[in-house]
Amino acid sequence: MVELSHDFLKPVLHRDAIMIDATLGTGRDSAFFLTKARRVIAFEIQPETAARCRQRMNDPRLEIRVENHTHIADLDLEADGVIFNFGWDPEGSHDIVTQPEDSLTAVQAALHCLRVKGRMALVFYPHARGRQEADRILAWLRTLDHRRYPCEKAELINSDRSPFCVLIERRR
């Protein structure tokens, strides 16, 4: 699903792009953005995880913020693309995870700062906490005007233990 989300985001990834990695984790999404983007802003709630990524990716275009992704609302910019990879950092603490209400607030803020024709990918994982987060966010996404924010869901239909993703484009 991460590869699918990256493929979806490729059309908005260019040399002047501003991209948001709302859930830094291992840094895989930020590294993908850094292949072309002018600026990448990444959020991470675990200080150790953020420090590990800073060491791996010493790039002046990458701004790592050690704070909850709800702070996307504090950004005064228009983003070309946003990605959320919900769950936990496989190398970090599995006890420190994003919470459903915080994640909903962050998705709402990210959608608000997305430029017209901008894209957002949400990758969800099927663990118990992840399902709660997904259910809360999906319920809200269903209320959006499909002409302004078409939302597509991609999932394996023959496995209930696989991640799935939601792909959103801001049309107007």
Instruction: Provide the pLDDT for residue 7.
Output: 98
Instruction: Provide the pLDDT for residue 110.
Output: 98
Q: Are 82 and 8 in contact (CB under 8 A)?
A: no
Q: Are 73 and 95 in contact (CB under 8 A)?
A: no
Taking the C-alpha atoms of residue 83 and residue 127, their distance in angstroms, rounded to an integer, is: 19
Q: Which residues of 108-120 are buried (b: 16+ CB within 10 A; e: fewer)?
A: ebbbebbeeebbb
Instruction: Provide the pLDDT for residue 131.
Output: 84
Report pLDDT digits (tens) over 121-162. Answer: 999 987 777 788 899 999 999 999 999 999 999 999 998 888
The CATH number covering residue 132 comes to 3.40.50.150
Q: Residue 168 CB: number of other CB atoms within 10 A? A: 22
Instruction: Provide the pLDDT for residue 64.
Output: 98
Q: Are 69 and 98 in contact (CB under 8 A)?
A: yes
Q: Which residues of 43-82 are buried (b: 16+ CB within 10 A; e: fewer)?
A: bbbbeebbebbbeebeeebbebbbebbbebeebeeebbbb
Count of domains for the chain = 1
Instruction: Provide the pLDDT for residue 89.
Output: 58
Among candidate residues 145, 133, 71, 148, the one with its CA nearest the CA of residue 100: 133
Report pLDDT digits (tens) over 23-78. Answer: 999 999 999 999 999 999 999 999 999 999 999 998 999 999 999 999 999 999 99
Report pLDDT digits (tens) over 73-121. Answer: 999 999 999 999 987 656 656 666 677 799 999 999 999 999 999 999 9
Q: Which domain holds residue 14?
A: 2-169
